């Protein structure tokens, strides 16, 4: 007896969905359909919530991917410059440094250089940057070397007469989409 009732309920629901409900089936179908609608409402809310999270996650991943894209470009450019300098006998003197700078912003790094050793200092910036400059300053605030050309890959070579602490000023002169990613390498021989 249970089987025919189940079939009737199914037929009633199907008939109600298509607008041809048999007499007496409307209440049962409406009740079943009402539950289904409530369940669909919960499912719809869950789907909406999941879609919202998915969009937010995609935007976050996109931002990270974009940041990683800029970092990848800078790292590849710096590696290419280091390969050329390595061919001239220069070797890493300090760890490479990577950072971000706003347009017209300046940053400074301090490190110790030895007298009589020749240093190759280079910087590169991402695809939104068209001008970044380097200025090497000694302990007495004298400019020892600088590259202030309008380019995105400044290089300075210097052989200090005295050992000591030197400051490297990095200025982001032209960054079209702030902030711009950049990298610095210091090599010596």
**Contact (Cβ atoms closer than 8 angstroms) between residue 112 and residue 166:** yes
Closest alpha carbon to 129 in 59, 56, 179: 179
Query: For the packed helices 2-17 and 26-87, what is the interaxial angle rounded to 10 degrees?
Result: 70
> What does the alpha-carbon distance between residue 123 and residue 99 come to, in Å, rounded to a whole number?
11
Average pLDDT rounded to a whole number, residues 134-146: 97
**Contact (Cβ atoms closer than 8 angstroms) between residue 140 and residue 166:** no
Q: Give me the pLDDT at residue 68, please.
A: 83
Q: What's 91-188's CATH class?
A: mainly beta
> What does the alpha-carbon distance between residue 78 and residue 56 come to, in Å, rounded to a whole number?
33
pLDDT over 70 at 148, yes or no: yes
Quick one: what percent of the chain has pLDDT higher than 70? 65
Quick one: what percent of the chain has pLDDT higher than 90? 64
Summarised one tens digit per residue, pLDDT across range 169-186 is 999 999 999 999 999 999
Summarised one tens digit per residue, pLDDT across range 24-34 is 444 444 444 45
Q: What is the mean pLDDT of the chain?
A: 79
Q: 23: Cβ–Cβ under 8 A, 6 or more apart, which residues?
A: none
29-40 per-residue burial string, b: 16 or more CB within 10 A, e: under 16? beebbeeeeeee
Summarised one tens digit per residue, pLDDT across range 41-97 is 555 554 554 555 445 544 444 444 455 899 999 999 999 999 999 999 999 999 999
The pLDDT confidence band at residue 11, using thresholds 50, 70 and 90, is: very low
Q: Give me the pLDDT at residue 66, please.
A: 57
Structure tokens at 72: 């990848």
pLDDT over 90 at 98, yes or no: yes
Q: Give me the pLDDT at residue 45, please.
A: 54
Q: Give me the pLDDT at residue 185, please.
A: 98
Domain range list for the chain? 91-188
């Amino acid at each position: 007896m249970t089987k025919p009732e189940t079939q009737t309920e199914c037929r009633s629901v199907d008939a109600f969905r298509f607008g041809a409900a048999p007499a007496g089936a409307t209440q049962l179908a409406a009740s079943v359909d009402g539950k289904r609608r409530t369940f669909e409402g919960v499912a719809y809310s869950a789907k909406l919530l999941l879609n919202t999270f998915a969009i937010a996650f995609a935007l976050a991943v996109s931002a990270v991917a974009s940041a990683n894209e800029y970092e990848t470009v800078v790292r590849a450019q710096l590696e290419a410059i280091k390969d050329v300098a390595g061919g001239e006998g220069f070797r890493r003197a300090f760890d490479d440094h990577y950072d971000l700078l706003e347009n017209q912003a300046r940053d400074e790094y301090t490190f110790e250089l030895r007298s009589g050793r020749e240093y190759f200092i280079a910087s590169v910036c991402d695809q939104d940057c068209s001008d970044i400059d380097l200025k090497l300053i000694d302990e007495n605030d004298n400019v020892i070397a600088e590259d202030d050309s309008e380019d995105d890959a400044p290089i300075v070579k210097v052989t200090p007469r005295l050992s000591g602490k030197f400051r490297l000023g990095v200025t982001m002169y032209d960054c079209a989409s702030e902030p711009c990613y950049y990298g610095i390498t210091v090599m010596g021989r």
